[in-house]
Amino acid sequence: MCCDDDDPPPAPRAPDPYATAAAQSAATKESAIAQAHMNQMNQITPRGKLEYAFRGLASDDTPQYQVTQTLSPAEQTKLDLTDQAAFKYGDIANTQLDAVQGKLSTPVSFAGLGAPPTVNEATRLATRDAIMARLNPELDRRRAALDTRLANRGFAIGSEAYDTAIDEDNRLRTDALLAADVQAGNEAARMYGLEAAGRDRAISEMLQERQVPLNEMATMMSGVPVQSPSFVPVPQTQIAAPDLMGATYASYTGQQDAYGQQLNRDLQARNAMVGGLFGLGSAALGGAGMAQRGKGLW
């Protein structure tokens, strides 16, 4: 036997934390490997397929995989043709770049277009004078006719009636001049708009001539992209690793509780046994005393 009957039973041994942690780590790793296996689902579509393949173990014995995407024959042919076209486009683009290199190295200059258009005051004045040149004869005839009417009516120069009539005629002439000035301003604005539009058109043509080779080169370089296969999302399975550490220490705690309860029961039983033996001893001693008194010893 490992111990005397009076000795208490041995306490449960505490778990080794390093061994427990190593067991938990191994269980977690196995769970992750199993989860990876379940989530590596090969897929096949009309445009291609996606396949997983085992390629060996890492230094920690973790399995390593590679995923391969394979195009369907039709999509592979399109990819090959696109690659061939891309090489040809690249050659043409390089040739085109050499052709436009000199033009691109020259800064854009609008000097040949002349000065930017401005509102020409001389044009406005000339237009106003031309309008008034057409109106003045008629205005002069109206003034002569007015003078004749005033003289025939006997209105003397300087009289109130004469000054009022002349003042109305002067306002008419002033209104005509103002109207001619407005019309001249509109004509000057129209001429400015024509000149500005012509200059803008010339600038646009110059820039377009510079950009067309670049746009053609960019188009050649872009090519036509291949349509990649579209794969469905793979359901991700989650596998929880067993809680070995929790279970181990929970078991140890249960053993400690059971040990404490058993130790308490043993102690109570031992105390009861000792108490019983003490009672028997006391009774025996009492009986012996009575016997002695009966014999007259006490």
pLDDT on residue 296: 52
Q: What is the mean pLDDT of residues 134-140?
A: 88
pLDDT on residue 1: 44
Q: What is the mean pLDDT of residues 237-255?
A: 70
Tell me the H-state helices in 106-223: 121-152, 160-222
Predicted TM-score (pTM) above 0.85: no
pLDDT on residue 278: 60
Instruction: Report d(CA 193, CA 117) in Å as an integer.
Output: 9
- Paired with 71 in beta bridges are 48
Neighbours of 147 (CB within 10 A): 16
Q: What is the mean pLDDT of residues 181-202?
A: 85
More confident residue, 138 or 99: 138
Most confident range, picked from 163-172, 219-228, 284-293:
163-172
The structure tokens listed for 56 are 């060996």
More confident residue, 45 or 210: 45
- Paired with 69 in beta bridges are 50
Lowest-pLDDT range of 14-23, 98-107, 161-170: 98-107
Q: What is the mean pLDDT of residues 209-236?
A: 62
Average pLDDT, the chain: 76
Inform me whether the pLDDT recorded for 288 exceeds 60: no
pLDDT on residue 279: 62
pLDDT on residue 26: 82
pLDDT on residue 28: 82
| Residue showing tokens 């001693």 | 285
The structure tokens listed for 272 are 């009861």
